[in-house]
Amino acid sequence: MNGIVMVGMADVKTAQGEDILMTPGLGSCIGICIFDSVKKVGGMAHIMLPTAIGHAEGNPAKYADTGTNLLVEGVLALGGVKSRLKAKIAGGAQMFTFADKPQILKIGDRNAEAVKRELKKLGIPLLVADVGGNYGRTIHFSVNTGNLKVRTINHGEKVI
């Protein structure tokens, strides 16, 4: 393909070679990037909620538990090798403040923890995480290099 592959909300996309995966406007959502640096294949999921349990929603890409598995399946389908897969994540902000907020409202924290839990369950090392805070992020992931560029408003840009 050799271009920019847009990943929407509750979406999973895979790519290879020189392709760049991009998702804009991560607030409490998490962008998960999983890749095989030897085969130069990878993918990105834009996760909105921690778990599909108790939800009748039919889109598995929306949830950390089912979306992470869907992403791994996609990367393996491109020739990725499970033992070589690695992950990077960004997002999980607390975009709104609530007085005496109960844990249920801390969706960014809950999303980040759910993704980390799923990666651990799948045996995929998490190399780096840029999560939390109270600001949104736009991310660009290079399948070829494994670099994750995180852009923010008023907090700069960095490559992790």
pLDDT of residue 100: 61
Length of the chain: 160
What's the CA gap between 57 and 152, in Å, rounded?
A: 30
pLDDT per position as a tens digit, 18-43: 999 999 999 999 999 999 999 999 99
Catalytic residues: 29
Which tokens in the block code for residue 115?
């993704």
For the chain, domains (ranges, CATH) are: 4-154 (3.30.1330.200)
Query: Residue holding tokens 């600001």?
Result: 135
**Token pair belonging to 132:** 């939390």
Q: How far is CA 131 from CA 40, 88, 94, in A?
A: 25, 10, 10
In which band, very low, low, confident or very high, does the pLDDT at 2 lie, cut at 50, 70 and 90? low
